[in-house]
Amino acid sequence: MQTEVLKLRHYCAYQERCHAEVREKARQLGLRGDELENAIAHLVEENFLNEERFAIAYAGGKFRMQQWGKKKITMALKQKQISAYCIKKALAAIPPEDYWNTLLTLATKKYDLLRSEQYLKRQYKTLQFLLQRGFEQELAREAIEQIAKKEE
């Protein structure tokens, strides 16, 4: 087996990778054309490279560690050239209850930080924060309404 393929195996074994990352690494190692395609096919066969597994791990990590919403995760996966099917699977792997609880926690923290603001401005800024994090507008509004009702 070529040393380049062995290096790619180690590269994939270290952490989950998407096809685009592996292609880039293979080019850096000097693989071109059929050599590159054969190396990627070999990695897929040997289960070192699995786009669905990558998408699920990536989405889960971004949600848990950086508290990103589904929209932001979707955009990041699209940038990595992940298929729509794998993106859908990855988003489905995020537990709805955890998603809602994270959204509510983030909204509450931001809303509390903006105590000195007027009521509407406070809601607007909280909504913008949640949208920037990649949460869906309807869910974000629902969370803000729930928090505002508690304060009354």
Instruction: Read off the pLDDT of residues 68-92 as tens digits, 9 standing for 90 and up.
Output: 999 999 999 999 999 999 999 999 9
> 104 and 71 in one domain?
no
Range of the domain at 39: 3-45
> 63 and 17 in one domain?
no
> 87 and 60 in one domain?
yes
Q: Is 62 exposed, middle or buried (0-12, 13-18, 19+ CB in 10 A)?
A: buried
- Look over the chain and give the mean of its residue pLDDT values, rounded to a whole number: 94
Mean pLDDT of 130-134: 97
- Indicate whether this model's pTM tops 0.75: yes
> 37 and 84 in one domain?
no
CATH code, 123: 1.10.10
Confidence of residue 99 (pLDDT cuts 50, 70, 90): very high
> 17 and 40 in one domain?
yes
Number of domains in the chain: 3
pLDDT at 30: 87
Residue 152 pLDDT greater than 80, yes or no? no
> 35 and 60 in one domain?
no
pLDDT at 59: 97
> 145 and 111 in one domain?
yes
Considering only residues 98 and 32, tell me which one the structure prediction assigns the higher pLDDT: 98
Task: Round to whole Å and give the CA distance between 17 and 47.
Answer: 11
> 74 and 27 in one domain?
no
Task: Round to whole Å and give the CA distance between 96 and 94.
Answer: 6
